[in-house]
Amino acid sequence: RFAPVFNVAVPFIDRHLAEGRADKVAIRTNHGEAVTYRELAEQANRAGNALRALGIGRGERVLMMVKDCPEFFYLFWGAIKAGIVPVPVNTLLRAKDYRFMIEDSGCAAVVYSPEFAAEVEPALAAADPAPAVRLPVTGEGDSLRARMAEAGAELEAVPASATDDCFWLYSSGSTGNPKGAIHRHRDMVVTSQYYGVETLGVREEDVCFSAAKLFFAYGLGNAMTFPLWVGATAVLYDGRPTPQSTFEMIQRFRPTIYYGVPTLYAAQLAALDELAPDLSSVRVCVSAGEALPPEIFQRWKERTGLTILDGIGSTEALHIFISNRIDDVRLGTSGRLVPGYEARIVDEAGNEVPPGESGRLLIRGDSTARAYWNNPEKTAQTMLEGGWLNTGDTYVRDEEGYFHYCGRSDDMMKVGGIWCSPFEIEARLIEHPAVLEAAVVGRPDEQNLVKPEAWIVLKDPAQAGDALRAELLEHCKKGLAPYKYPRWIHFVDELPKTATGKIQRFKLRARPQP
Ligand code: 3SK
């Protein structure tokens, strides 16, 4: 239940001062900064006041190209408290992408970490309309930090209701332009309580470290909203997450919860022997972004003793809505529904299918975005009647309520008339000791019949060749239904991925065979 007048910055930020956590460290960074809850509340107020002094009004958008650093928190929460809508965006994008988002959002301000100036400034120069306010976070001249230093340290939260617009996140599908998913004040409360507390078990003593960045809905929950909801500590790293850098962060800051993505877990596993990290502080690991191959779960467990809780979420749902639990892991599945969410699996006509049959996953819960900004067509395709969200994922729910991932609905292929999940073939390939990563797509053969094609990254590229190709084929034929083995196997140095680590199978489909 939400109070009728409610600004979500109050329970996430100001509440901690009233509850005796003013001196507790809320944020630690790889630069050695330690920000207490008192400082966080004060700096967020300053950021909100600075935005107001710049003339930014209620409901106007501030685009944030900001790395993982305390200023991300200050700007995000200060804006919300002042009734302004923060829009964190992917910091790995290019000028043309930023130009699109600037124009699409009609933002009143762009605030960016100076590291991203080479892409953001040309986007600002080209955009029409373009915002009057353009500020680097830090720097010699005008900057957010300089404005914050001059702004007041007190700020009254603007009254809002739980269903008022609060912040946006751009969601990039496999095709088309990114879409601004509009989230409401209540959404972060819902994900923090239902997934963070009641599913994952985040608590005040925790130290949370996420390899996934804050601009990604997954990272935003992992390293900002969950720790702030329970008064825990977030650890931020502003560099590129590699096995080396993430292991260094874990050894230095001793997090209790570590959040990664499957690709990074695979790379970390491959580097365990060489780097021999001390992971003893971690009590649980989390994975999302794409389904975790069972092989990675098992090898991680054997090598580190740690359980990886795999779950599925989306930018539109804000965080994970189906998940394994620490005392309830069903290997090879995404787990069961998170409290507060309902699911339906439907066929192409929208009729619910029985357990054991695959179909499109729809979910319903109080954290789902209300619409895409300025995009009624995509809104109608995704935010369905009755509050259902079309996830675009194909799933099977078994009799016991566990959800088995089959792939993105647009990645599924029909082989010999039977639906075939690329994920199942990839999981089989990854079980082979030579394979680091695999992606499978459908490709028409000489008779124009779709067959699986595998693109493989090897742990040791020197092993590539016909002998290994034949071995992998045999491995697949042994472990999969006969029609599912890949008819073509290509060895590549890397797979095309989104900034958040999801394999872009559509790019492989478009690639000519080597
Ligand atoms: O892709 C996911 O699984 C996910 C999880 C949490 C939040 C956001 C996303 C996209």
At 472-498, the pLDDT tens digits run: 999 999 988 888 999 999 999 999 988
Whole-model pTM?
A: 0.89
Cα–Cα dist 85/166, whole Å: 6
Cα–Cα dist 492/56, whole Å: 48
- The percentage of residues in the chain with a pLDDT greater than 90, rounded to a whole number, is 84
Cβ pair 268, 293 in contact under 8 A: no
At 495-510, the pLDDT tens digits run: 998 877 788 898 999 9
Q: Using the atom order of ligand 1, give the atom closest to the CA of residue 289.
A: 1
Cβ pair 340, 190 in contact under 8 A: yes
Task: Report which of residues 118 and 409 the model is more confident about.
Answer: 118
Q: Using the atom order of ligand 1, give the atom closest to the CA of residue 502.
A: 1
Cα–Cα dist 492/215, whole Å: 29
Cα(154) to ligand 1 centroid in Å equals 35
Nearest to 65 by CA among 33, 43, 87, 40: 87
Tell me which of 187, 199, 213, 216 to substitute to probe ligand 1's pocket, judged by most ligand atoms within 8 Å of the beta carbon.
216
pLDDT at 442 over 60: yes
Q: What pLDDT was estimated at residue 5?
A: 67
Q: Which residue's CA is the nearest one to ligand 1's atom 1? A: 289
Q: What value of ipTM does the predicted structure carry?
A: 0.97
Computed over every residue of the chain, the mean pLDDT equals 94
**Who lines ligand 1 at CB under 6 A?**
217-218, 288-289, 312-315, 319-320
- For residue 397, what are the contacts with CB-CB under 8 A and spacing of at least 6? 343, 345, 355, 403, 404
User: pLDDT-based confidence at 407, cuts 50/70/90?
Assistant: confident
**Mean per-residue pLDDT, 136-158:** 97
Cα–Cα dist 323/442, whole Å: 28
Cα(180) to ligand 1 centroid in Å equals 15
- Alpha carbon 412 to its chain centroid, in Å, reads 22
Cα(203) to ligand 1 centroid in Å equals 21
Cα(417) to ligand 1 centroid in Å equals 31
Range of weakest confidence among 48-57, 145-154, 168-177, 263-272: 168-177
At 111-146, the pLDDT tens digits run: 999 999 999 999 999 999 999 999 999 999 999 999
**Mean per-residue pLDDT, 273-282:** 98
Cα(316) to ligand 1 centroid in Å equals 9
Q: Which residue's CA is the nearest one to ligand 1's atom 5? A: 313
Cα(146) to ligand 1 centroid in Å equals 35
Range of weakest confidence among 29-43, 214-228, 239-253, 438-452: 438-452
